[in-house]
Amino acid sequence: MEAKAIQTSSYLQVPEIQKHLENIEYIIMATSAPENFKETPIHFTIFLNTDEKFPKDVQEAILDKFLDDNGITKPAELMSQLMPVGFAENTGQDTLMPLLLIKQDDMRSIPHVPMFVMDFLADSENFYEAKVHKLTGWTYSYN
């Protein structure tokens, strides 16, 4: 079976995003890292359903828990901060895809809410699809 590119059909508006996030604790997304990162072949993004800024020690504890719970090793290139996040409806996907908005144009054109995001490169045997097949996937954790 050949993987198809993710096709966005629409973006949620802010009130729809807020309603969508009501019972969500976090979302973890995994995709393949750029080829030159052999030791850390997976790009992870963890979207925490909060707009709270965490102190450094709390951020480290949260990251350690995610690493332990998901069998993730060798974290590198960590960025953790409040970031604008949009949500897209995609053809063929059961859940909405979170979108970390980096570009100013995207922030202006895609409705979004602030979420605490941890973005990093790492390795894991538990994310085979991202590591070996170069696929992108995400999982929601509900309260």
Ranges of the chain whose pLDDT falls below 70: 1-6
pLDDT value of residue 91: 74
The model's pTM is 0.91
* Chain mean position to CA 92: 19
pLDDT value of residue 1: 46
Contact 79, 119 (CB under 8 A): yes
Report domain extents, the chain. Answer: 8-142
pLDDT tens sequence across 6-40: 677 789 999 999 999 999 999 999 999 998 999 99
